[in-house]
Structure 1
Amino acid sequence: MSPPAVPTGGAAHFSLASSARVLGTVHLGPGAVIAQGAVVRSQGGSVRLGSGSAVRENATVIGTPELPVTVGERAVLGQLCVVLGAEVGPLSEVGSGAILMPFVRLGARCLVGAGTVLPTGMVVPDESVVEGRPGQVLRRATAEDLERLRRLRGGGLALPGQPLTAFSARDRAEDAPMGQLYTFRDKHPLVHPTATLFSTAEVSGDVVIGPGCIVGPGVKIVGDSHAPVRIGAGVQLLGNTVLHLSPDNALVLEDGVIIGPGCVVHGCHVGAGTVVEPGAILSDGSRLGRGCLVGAGSLVKPLTSFPDGARVEGFPAVQTGTLSTPPAAPRWALRPEDLAGLRRLS
């Protein structure tokens, strides 16, 4: 494990790992930690991480002016978490792989189980234990729960009440303007010159990426197989998503597909204009029609198919409705006009 890099410019009071990415201006309290592989996107200074808070490995935090993120003092976001426009109360512990959708309000000293999905707008009272997909408040935290939380916080639950400091970091795109491309068995990725790959994106093997695509920080596209990966025009693959396939399945994303952060996309076919919300899993041999919407944390099982315009949710996923119009680009998606400001901040 590489040691965290120490930020410069008067912000050395917090820890930023060298493989983490901060995009935009984030407001941080003393002792905050952004760990290896974590991605924090803060448009317009919309992400605030309190004193002693932690964004663990490969977690993704996205805030916009319309969907700000506030993480309270000494709160911890576990590995592979995704937090979009949500509020996390002080001293809360969010388990690995949990997903907090926009306008979630998580109270103080809450315990959120690993893999829990908190749906848009959910409000969780202080000292709650929450689990499930979708998340449900199981009970109020007991004295034993709070004692465990106290141990996790080094023996105390005091809040320091420290002010935040604004910090900006570049994506380091100038070091690798097309991400990291690797040949596998004489197959080399082909990337359209108008596509944008962030510097920590990695692409290997038989992969074609079309015009106007955005491949976000931490994204891995693995074409190390006998089958191809084909990505159409205007596709977005957001932070810490993984694409890969087995030898007997091609992986095709048609034009305009948006894959949210923290997803796993196996060898499948996704129709044009489909939106896949954060943390979803698309299994080998599955097929989604044009203009579908896959809910956060859903599992599309192998060899299952859904028609055009299907609303797909659940673990495992089922069709829960039909969209009358194609889904709009979600507010947590990137816009092409955002790229200059987010990739190369001074």
Structure 2
Amino acid sequence: MSPQQLVSPPATSAGGAGHFSLASSARVLGTVHLGPGALIAQGAVVRSHDGAVRLGAGSAVLENATVVGTPGQPVTVGERAVLGHRSVVLGAEVGPLCEVGNGAILMPGSRLGARCLLGEGTVIPSGMLVPDESVVVGRPGRVLRRATPQDLERLRGMRGGNLTLPGQPLTAFSARDRAEDAPMGQLYTFRDKHPLVHPTATLFSTAEVTGDVVIGPGCIIGPGVKIIGDSHGPVRIGAGVQVLANTVLHLLPDNTLVLEDGVIVGPGCMVHGCHVGAGTVVEPGAILCDGSRVGRGSIVGAGSLVKQHATFPDGVRVEGFPAVQTERLAQPPAPPRWALRPEDLAGLRRVG
């Protein structure tokens, strides 16, 4: 990771004492604890079950990043830490003054020490502990080296000339404090095709669905999700499917995109013109390319790339960049803790 690849919060992240910045297109779902000067930027989604997300003073969640904390897998982001564009943090701990690169993924139970620097697209697996002042790259992440004095000096420059920590208390903020928008997503006609959404499906307010798309009963389409059926082929989403925050579904002309019943697609994924079998879990940040096929009851690992026309059988785990089959599963995967449950919706959905 070169010094130029580090990200830093815009100047608007620093507010006065007791204040934080929340962009109008950002979404806070549940109650989050925020320190003074914290920033949640455009398109970012923070989902905090029972107050399980804590963002320290001067921290920043940049554009289209996703943070999900639950009581069993809480998220703590230390003071003056930055989560880069389209990064995903699930049930992880980020130490103070960390720089998490754009598109990086932190899986549940992982922990970054203080002043760690993560390269773009790095995947920190579940349970990985990263020592203070580490430079980490790769999928999965590996410690490349310890941060040099030059790295820390650049970090100091990006923090206004000092690396001190304010030690400020946090303030609870609830989504219900900002209920200005409609509770359901936007549907758009493309030519003569209009989305069909089952009345028992839930679309969060910033979800957008266009064209030849059918969404089945009991589905959950999360905040910031874009489902685009504006080509010659359809998008078909079965019953009980979840497509979570800031994921994009799209396809090329004369193609089809199918998510069978019970599929769970994690935050920050790109799912393009493929077929995903029933009960499969697609972990955060994965990319599924046109013409690929993943069987039933499988797992696609976080940050993996399923290449065009790749085919995998039922009941396997696939991961890597590009993805390969790494194991055969003894049983279908259970819904991960970062997935939503129907009973969560009343507490997490905005009210119009």
Q: Do these two structures clear the TM 0.5 threshold for a shared fold by scoring above it?
A: yes
Q: Residue 13 of structure 1 aligns to which amino acid in structure 2?
A: H
User: Residue 317 of structure 2 contacts residue 325 of structure 2 at CA under 8 Å; is this kept in 1?
Assistant: yes
Residue 80 in 1 paired to residue 86 in 2? yes
Secondary structure, counterpart of 1:199 in structure 2: coil
SS for the counterpart of 2:47 is strand
d(CA) in 2 for partners of 1:209, 1:302: 24
Q: Distance in 1 between matches of 2:139 and 2:246?
A: 21
Name 2:155's counterpart in structure 1: 149
**1:24 counterpart = 2:16:** no
Alignment partners' CA distance in 2, 1:130 and 1:136: 5
Where do 5+ consecutive residues of structure 2 fail to align? 1-10
| CA–CA separation in structure 2 for the residues paired with 1:248 and 1:185 | 16
Q: How do residues 158-197 of structure 1 correspond to structure 2 at under 5 angstroms?
A: 158-170=164-176, 175-197=181-203
Q: CA deviation at 1:175?
A: 3.6
Relative to the length of structure 2, the TM-score reads: 0.94
Q: Does 1:210 align with 2:216?
A: yes
Q: CA deviation at 1:12?
A: 6.4
1:128: which partner in 2?
A: 134
Separation in 1, partners of 2:177, 2:141: 33
1:322 maps to which residue?
328
What residue in structure 1 maps to residue 75 of structure 2?
69
2:260–2:278: 8 Å Cα contact kept in structure 1?
yes
Q: Does residue 1:111 correspond to 2:102, yes or no? A: no
Structure 1 equivalent of residue 230 of structure 2 = 224
Contact preservation (8 Å) 2:97, 2:116: yes
Aligned equivalents of 1:160 and 1:175: distance in 2? 34
Shift of 1:344: 3.5
CA positional deviation for 1:287: 0.3
Residue 348 of structure 2 aligns to a residue in which SS? helix
- Deviating beyond 6 angstroms after TM superposition, the runs of 4 or more aligned structure 1 residues are 171-174
Which of 263, 279, 285 is the matching residue for 1:279? 285
On the 8 A contact 2:237/2:259 being kept in 1, the answer is: yes
Flag the 1:24–1:138 CA change in 2: closer, same or farther, 3 A: same
Q: Which SS does the other structure have where 1:96 is aligned?
A: coil
Structure 1 distance, partners of 2:84, 2:316, is: 32
- Aligned-partner residue type, residue 52 of structure 2: S
TM-score with structure 1 setting the length:
0.96
1:332 lines up with 2:328 in the alignment: no
Separation in 2 of the partners of 1:309 and 1:170?
41
Taking the TM superposition and a 5 Å limit, the aligned residue runs for 1:3-82 are 13-82=19-88
Relative distance call for 1:82 and 1:196 in structure 2 (3 A) is same
Alignment partners' CA distance in 1, 2:178 and 2:31: 15
Distance 1:44 1:267 in 2: 36
Maintained 8 Å contact 1:172/1:199: no
- After TM superposition, the structure 1 stretch with the greater mean CA deviation from structure 2, 144-153 or 196-205, is 144-153
Deviation at 1:60, TM superposition (A): 0.1
Quote the offset at 1:345 in angstroms. Answer: 6.6
Using a 3 Å threshold, how does the CA distance of structure 1 residues 209 and 87 change in structure 2: closer, same or farther?
same
Show structure 1 runs of 5+ residues with no match: none
Give the CA deviation at 1:98: 0.1
Q: Which amino acid aligns with 1:211?
A: P
Provide closer, same or farther for how the CA distance between residues 33 and 172 of structure 1 changes in structure 2, counting only shifts above 3 A. closer
Deviation at 1:173, TM superposition (A): 7.4
Cα distance in 2 for partners of 1:188, 1:20 equals 27
* 1:14–1:31 contact (8 Å) kept in structure 2: yes
Q: 1: distance between equivalents of 2:18 and 2:189?
A: 38
- Secondary structure of 1:320's counterpart equals strand
CA shift for structure 1 position 152 = 1.2
Q: Which amino acid aligns with 1:53?
A: S
